[in-house]
Amino acid sequence: MSTDKNDTSFPAADSADARGDRADTVSALERGISVLRCFSEARPVLGHADIARMTGIPRPTVNRLVATLLSLGMLKAAQVADRFMLGPGVVSLSRVFLGSLDVRAAARPSMQAMAEEVGASVYLAIRDGMEMVLIEACRPRSSMLSARLDVGSRAPLANSALGRAYLSALPEVQRNQLVDSMRLLRGPEWDSIAPGMTRAIGEARRLGYCLSLGEFHREINSVSVPLIGPDGEVMALNGGGAAFVFTEERLRNELAPRLHDIALTIARDIGGHVPTPLPG
């Protein structure tokens, strides 16, 4: 994405059209999407200065991008002056995306049944960049101890069970490329993250599941299994909750086999498959 400090405004629409300048059009789209990606559960409300700092886009260009996204309903004004939130236009797009994922319809009954029977939160996720994003979330209706992640919540690849299960199912070359990218992004903290991630990926390839014991959220333990769709897209199923309820022993002996059975059922229904653990 271009972050040229000399570019302080959008190119005029009429001049771009006259030139047929596709490069400028793509650059503008990339910048608009980068603005939307600044918003998250941890940062639901942002101002112009926040967005400029996070994206590296010059402030005058940010002003125009925000104005355009406001006019399209992709952003809306927050109650605080000169602050913004994601708008209803983003919701309608996400509904179209989620509605097109048949895997959600196939997965939800089994996921909800497991959530109710074992008292765990059960998630299905796909990768988006260097994170896993939840596309389905089921929680037991009777428990107050379950994790409160929901559809659209994100988990890091390196230290969540979801991310580790995903990485375990990738071809080796692709997995190594992602690991190299994570190493650069994580910087000095990588040395403390990498050993647990490497161990969990190896375990997933041998056993068909992997764990995250307080490594993503300190008080949450979880287990995940990979699932591959008919088009080759890798997903991950996850179950878990409060660490004092979902001990390592319980994750391995009770939740992991149940998740594996659910993954096999989903794979059968959508024409996908579950990776076979390596011998030994």
pLDDT digits (tens, 9 = 90+) for 71-122: 988 899 888 888 999 888 887 776 666 655 578 878 889 999 999 999 899 9
Please report whether residue 94 resides in a domain.
no
Q: Are residues 135 and 109 in the same domain?
A: yes
Please report whether residue 1 resides in a domain.
no
Work out the average pLDDT over 25-32: 80
Measured between alpha carbons, how far is residue 203 from residues 127, 168, 276, 278, 279 in Å? Answer: 20, 9, 12, 10, 12
Quote the pLDDT of residue 99: 58
Quote the pLDDT of residue 145: 53
Is residue 254 exposed (0-12), middle (13-18) or buried (19+ Cβ within 10 Å)? middle
Give the pTM. Answer: 0.67
Q: Of 44, 62, 87, which marks where a domain is finished? A: 87
**Confidence category of residue 209, pLDDT binned at 50, 70, 90:** very high
Dist. CA 149–CA 42, nearest whole Å: 12
Q: Which of 64-73, 97-106, 225-234, 263-272 has the lowest mean pLDDT?
A: 97-106
Please report whether residue 4 resides in a domain.
no
Domains held by the chain: number: 2
Dist. CA 172–CA 178, nearest whole Å: 10
Structure tokens at 109: 């009954």
Q: Are residues 134 and 41 in the same domain?
A: no
Work out the average pLDDT over 24-44: 81
Please report whether residue 139 resides in a domain.
yes
Q: Of 36, 64, 87, which marks where a domain is finished? A: 87
Q: Are residues 106 and 64 in the same domain?
A: no
Alpha helices in the chain (DSSP H): 13-19, 22-37, 48-55, 59-71, 88-99, 102-118, 161-168, 172-186, 190-207, 248-250, 256-270
Q: Write the CATH number for 238.
A: 3.30.450.40
Q: Are residues 39 and 173 in the same domain?
A: no
For 123, the domain range is 101-270
Quote the pLDDT of residue 9: 35
Q: Write the CATH number for 64.
A: 1.10.10.10
Quote the pLDDT of residue 276: 86
Q: Are residues 67 and 116 in the same domain?
A: no
Structure tokens at 210: 């992997």
Q: 8 pLDDT exceeds 70?
A: no
Q: Of 36, 54, 87, which marks where a domain is finished? A: 87
Q: Are residues 140 and 194 in the same domain?
A: yes
- The interaxial angle of helices 102-118 and 256-270, nearest 10 deg, is 160
| Residue positions counted in the chain | 280
For 164-178, write each residue's pLDDT tens digit.
999 999 999 999 999
Please report whether residue 2 resides in a domain.
no
